[in-house]
Structure 1
Amino acid sequence: MGSLALGAVVISFAAVFVTTAGISADASAFYRMLFGGVTMVGLLAAKGRLGTLKTVLPASLTAAFFLTGDFLCWHRAILAVGPGLATMLGNLQAVFIAVFSVIILGERPGIRFGGALILALGGVYLTVGPQWDLGGEAFQKGVLYGVATGLFYAAYILSLKRLVARTGDALASVAAITLWTAAACGAANLIGGGSFALPDMAAWSSMLSLGILCQCGGWLLISRGLDSVRASLAGLVLLLQPVLSFLWDILFFGKPVNPVELSGVALALCGIYLGSLQRQPKARDLPGA
């Protein structure tokens, strides 16, 4: 459980690094994937498994599509509503996966599923509802980007499960996805007329930390830790990420909070946790697996 908890702590700083970089959402997504992908390729080379990367590149395109949508939306949400709320909304993926299991795979939802959905949606409403009109158009778009992040994130997790089941190599699969996503995010930044310049040391250190520590190190720790703990415990430990991201938002960026908002965050996280306990579909359950 130690590596799982440490991984959750490490990736909780991802939204902080996006904020401190001071560059566009698309550019930060590109550098995150680029530096993370290069680091993963280096690990594969060190293990003598670089040839595996070539074999998984074609099969990783679908997962890369969803991961691209995930990060392009999430980085926009971070810049619009702050690291804490953006991360919490992105972690609605646990509930979306449960919804997918019920609607697409025909699983029986049960009382726990209904409770998770009510808690998560109620918590989100308490968190964003009072600010919806006051926050203006930028805040509203940020919330929608955060919800879209959760949808893309859920689709990415499901497609990643199927890919790893096919290839049997998690590191090579994630490295291939990361490289494809770097190319897609770079293209999005180029099409949008964005700059690729990292203007100062703060931007360089933020992006290097985001790619090497969070994207590569954090997710490798989580991947290793997931194999050694129960699913229910893993879901609880991984809630460290949105909880700590919300705390960093308050401590580092002076985010104002009130009892209603804190209650909403607590309810939403409870719903996300209950949603994570819903049996997630195995690779063989997925269409086309």
Structure 2
Amino acid sequence: MAIASSRSALIGLIIGCIIFGLGSLIVAHVDIGGWAMSFWRLTISGVIFTVLAKMTAQKLPRARRAIIFALLSGVFLGLDLALWHESIYAVGPGISTLLNSLQIFFLAAIGFLIFNERQSIVQLLSLVLAMFGVAMIGSPEFAHNSEATWGFIAGIVSGGMLAASMTFIRKTHDAEPTPIFVLMQLISIGGGLAMVIPMLVFDMGNIMPNTWSELGWVLVYGAVMQCLAWGLIAYSIPKLSLALTGLLLLTEPIAALIIDYSWLDKPINSLQWAGALLTMFAIYLGSLKPKPRALRRYRFFSRFYKHRYK
């Protein structure tokens, strides 16, 4: 049973990440502003999660701090999505998704500054490797793309906003454990409301879908990418090892890069492919949490004595 559960979690995580990668393709093809796309995605998912919360009789947390933290998580998620969309328009789905995946390093910085979490040598090395990887990706892009600067800034900052959103999810559960559907409902509400003013300022005239086809894709983007993909990932991660999870999460930028190169005819040269591989390797290393020293020492001596006296 355990093997079957682990296998289903592995498949679910891969499918969820690939669906996320396909979401960038929808963003690239639908003629709606990046902030507006963020608003619609969160609004649609908010309706769905509200219905699910009602159907399962999940209650709002009693602690006001938990509600505030969940709403703030939504605000940062909205900013993450909007900036990721803007990066997609500027440099394409592949590079933008890879840049967004750098959120692991922002999480490490937040853990160090706020939660006093120490960083291992491997994690520090991964940051250096990621910087080299991004430089390898960016150097050819800046040579022929006038929007590359904005695309890289938006993509990297979107990773920081995602890290902040995940941090406030943690603080929400610290204030009071919150059921998943209610949590996602509050996150969607906070993010959708936060997008209203930026959408009206930056995307005026480019807010509504222009055709029934675009409306359908926007509904798919909100329902499938925000609800189904997140659901598969949330279901799968606790059932897999941290190392395997970190490795499989890289299927999202890989899928986005392949889509960008093969379907959207994005020119990606060998230096950029090498930089992408280096960056993804760095992200994988950065996702590995070091074992506590005491636990490592215990396991070392346990293996030593088991071998010595067997």
TM-score of the two chains, using structure 1 as the length reference = 0.90
Of the three residues 116, 128, 133, the one matched with 1:118 is 128
Partner residue, 1:52:
60
Flag the 1:193–1:239 CA change in 2: closer, same or farther, 3 A.
closer
Partner of 2:224: 213
- Superposed, 1:183-202 pairs within 5 Å as 183-192=193-202, 194-195=204-205, 196-202=207-213
- How many residues align structurally? 278
Q: Is the CA contact (8 Å cut-off) linking 2:133 and 2:278 kept in structure 1?
A: yes
- Structure with greater Cα Rg: 2
Structure ranking higher on relative contact order (CA contacts 8 Å, 6+ apart): 1
Q: How far has the Cα of 1:133 moved from its partner?
A: 4.0
Deviation at 1:22, TM superposition (A): 1.3
Equivalent-residue separation in structure 1 for 2:119 and 2:98 (angstroms): 23
Say what the alpha-carbon RMSD is for the aligned residues.
2.0
- Whether the 8 Å contact between 2:137 and 2:275 is mirrored in structure 1 is yes
In structure 1, C-alpha distance between the alignment counterparts of 2:61 and 2:201, rounded to whole Å: 28
Aligned residue type for 1:38: V
Q: 1:131-171: CA deviations, max 9, x gaps?
A: 224322x2211110001011111111111122134233122
Q: What is residue 179 of structure 2 aligned with on the other side?
A: 169
Q: Is the 8 A contact 1:11 1:218 kept in 2?
A: yes
Residues in 2 aligned to 1:54 and 1:215: alpha-carbon distance in whole angstroms: 26
Q: For residue 210 of structure 2, what is the amino acid of its counterpart?
A: P
Change in CA separation of 1:60 and 1:104 when aligned onto 2, cut-off 3 Å: closer
Residue number in structure 2 paired with 1:265: 276
TM-score, normalised to structure 2, is: 0.84
Is 1:149 the equivalent of 2:171? Answer: no
Query: Would you say 1:242 and 2:253 are equivalent positions?
Result: yes
In the aligned structure 2, how far is the partner of 1:219 from the partner of 1:193? 27
| Equivalent residue number for residue 140 of structure 1 | 149
Which amino acid in structure 1 is aligned with residue 18 of structure 2?
V
**Fraction of identical pairs, as percent:** 26
Tell whether the 8 Å contact from 2:105 to 2:286 is kept in structure 1 after alignment: yes
1:110-139, Cα deviation, whole Å (9 max, x unpaired): 320122111111110000123224322x22
Structure 1 residue 225 and structure 2 residue 227: aligned?
no
- 3-state SS in 1 of match to 2:239: coil
Match of 1:285 in 2: none
Cα distance, 1:103 vs. partner? 4.2
The answer to whether 1:180 aligns with 2:197 is no
